[in-house]
Structure 1
């Protein structure tokens, strides 16, 4: 039940941040950021397991690994952009957080171009001439 550990850590951090925030706001932010990073590091093992299963399924389905790797990179960009934006929001910098989210969306579009191109080419080939 890892979720209980994660939620417990989150609750403890929240109480500590509420106590520290009035006296030392910088320490409160650092505690919040550290907790987020600790949770992310805790989940890296789970993420690698998921990636392994997806690679195995892609091999069985004879899917080009370039597509799977691109999709995994897109998912990674989305998660990292969201994580970074939330930490920046915790520091009270909404405008910077919005820029991080915009950058993530643009990078996702750039990464998706090869996949979209293949889909369009496939659809065009299926259409009667």
Structure 2
């Protein structure tokens, strides 16, 4: 899906959401979330070549596949947390959106702990401790 289609879907969904908000706010939120999910799937469909290129670059650099897994999982957490937080904000729940963003940040830190351990081990080995 190209950028024109993404923008078109987003504008149409926004217009529908604004029109529905006057009469049925709950339907407005559903339209926004459904359009967001549709756009997210369209975007993720187009990201496959980039993922393959990153895997190729990591393999050619001699880096472990574990690093690529951490990178892709972190990106997934970022996208999911941002989508959920934006949906909460659209529903008028900004406090809940903040909690979702915090949970996403903590999940990324927990996911990255093995990488931090390897970096710390390498640093200790270089220092000679």
RMSD between superposed Cα atoms in Å: 1.5
**Equivalent residue number for residue 122 of structure 2:** 122
- Please tell me whether residue 10 in structure 1 is matched to residue 10 in structure 2: yes
* Alpha-carbon offset, residue 48 of structure 1: 2.1
- Please tell me whether residue 102 in structure 1 is matched to residue 102 in structure 2: yes
Q: How does 1:72-111 map to 2 (within 5 A)?
A: 72-111=72-111
Taking the aligned partners of 1:47 and 1:97, their CA distance within structure 2 comes to 26
Query: Per the alignment, in what secondary structure is the counterpart of residue 85 of structure 2?
Result: helix
* Alpha-carbon offset, residue 91 of structure 1: 0.7
Query: Per the alignment, in what secondary structure is the counterpart of residue 63 of structure 1?
Result: coil
Between 107-116 and 51-60, the greater mean CA deviation after superposition: 51-60
Between 25-34 and 46-55, the greater mean CA deviation after superposition: 46-55
* Alpha-carbon offset, residue 18 of structure 1: 1.4
**Equivalent residue number for residue 66 of structure 2:** 66
**Equivalent residue number for residue 24 of structure 2:** 24
- Please tell me whether residue 52 in structure 1 is matched to residue 52 in structure 2: yes
In the comparison of the two structures, how many residue pairs are matched?
129
Taking the aligned partners of 2:112 and 2:128, their CA distance within structure 1 comes to 26
- In the superposition, the TM-score normalised over structure 2's length comes to 0.92
* Alpha-carbon offset, residue 97 of structure 1: 1.1
Deviations 1:79-127 (A, max 9, x none): 1101111011111111111111111111111011111111111122222
